[in-house]
Amino acid sequence: MKFYHKTWFIFMMVILSTGLVFAVVFLTDITTRLQLLSGGRDKSNREPGGAESLLGFSALAPALGNLDSRVKIIGFFDFQCPFSAEEAAILEQVKAKYGTRIYLQFRHFPIKNGSREISEASMCANEQGKFWAYHDLLFANQINQSEMIKPLAKEAGLDEAVFADCVKSRRFRDQVQEDFDSAIKLQVLATPTFFINGHKVQGVIPLEAWEKIIKEYE
């Protein structure tokens, strides 16, 4: 049997190919983080007219901070994405440090199985003024998250009957779909993805990078 037909050779090629893919992904992530930490962002990633003009700052979307601030952020998240959960913890620190000096608007990009239902449920929480409390609980309970939709609503202090009716009727299906469609138009490929004053940044942004970004824009 020829060398290249041997089972062990095929196995080794599969292992090497897989390792190469992971290496490329890892190096890409490291490069992005280093660019952010050095204050250098690719200006070609700026969307024409900025994300503000493409998306608008919807009064219906959950938001924190001051809309008149000089640092405006639109973030696309998936509640079942572990990287979105990682970034949510970092943003807690950003919000605590900068408060009304920034404006952050949450947008839905439910790309994982079951994520759409969870996004819609979070908007039912938003209807009762409890989005961020429910948001924190969802990210803290990603295991069996779909089974925790109602229990977490109770923990967040929501009116359970109103919440259950909202979820069952899929009251916010269209809004979640609009967020999803906007993400596709903006060529969002993964979560989290941010548009910071119109500049697109994909992936987890460390706290040190947020500090540099905010300083640059203020």
- Residue 207 is predicted with a pLDDT of 97
Q: What is the mean pLDDT of residues 105-113?
A: 95
Q: Determine the Cα–Cα distance for residues 138 and 78; give it in Å rounded to an integer.
A: 11
Q: Determine the Cα–Cα distance for residues 92 and 114; give it in Å rounded to an integer.
A: 25
| Residue 126 CA: distances (Å) to CA of 34, 134, 182 | 35, 8, 20
- Residue 54 is predicted with a pLDDT of 53
Residue 177 tokens read as 């779909």
Q: Is the dihedral of CA 165, 133, 183, 22 positive or negative?
A: negative
**Would you call 164 helix, strand, or coil by DSSP?**
helix
For residue range 186-201, list pLDDT tens digits in order.
999 999 999 999 999 9
- Residue 33 is predicted with a pLDDT of 46
Q: List helix spans (H) across 77-206.
A: 82-98, 115-127, 131-140, 149-155, 160-169, 173-185
For residue range 35-78, list pLDDT tens digits in order.
444 444 444 344 434 445 555 566 679 999 999 999 999 999 99
pTM: 0.77
Residue 110 tokens read as 């439910």
* 172 or 54, greater pLDDT: 172
- The residue count of the chain comes to 218
- Residue 13 is predicted with a pLDDT of 52
Q: List helix spans (H) across 57-114.
A: 82-98
- Residue 60 is predicted with a pLDDT of 79
- Residue 144 is predicted with a pLDDT of 87
pLDDT for residue 18 is more than 80:
no
Q: Determine the Cα–Cα distance for residues 126 and 63; give it in Å rounded to an integer.
A: 10
CB atoms within 10 A of CB 148: 18
Q: At 63, give phi and psi (nearest 5°).
A: -150, 155
Please report which helix (H) or strand (E) contains residue 7, including its range: helix 7-37
For residue range 117-166, list pLDDT tens digits in order.
999 999 999 999 999 999 999 999 998 898 999 999 999 999 999 999 99
Q: Determine the Cα–Cα distance for residues 90 and 205; give it in Å rounded to an integer.
A: 8
Q: At 78, give phi and psi (nearest 5°).
A: -125, 120
Let me know: does 196 contact 45? Beta carbons within 8 Å: no
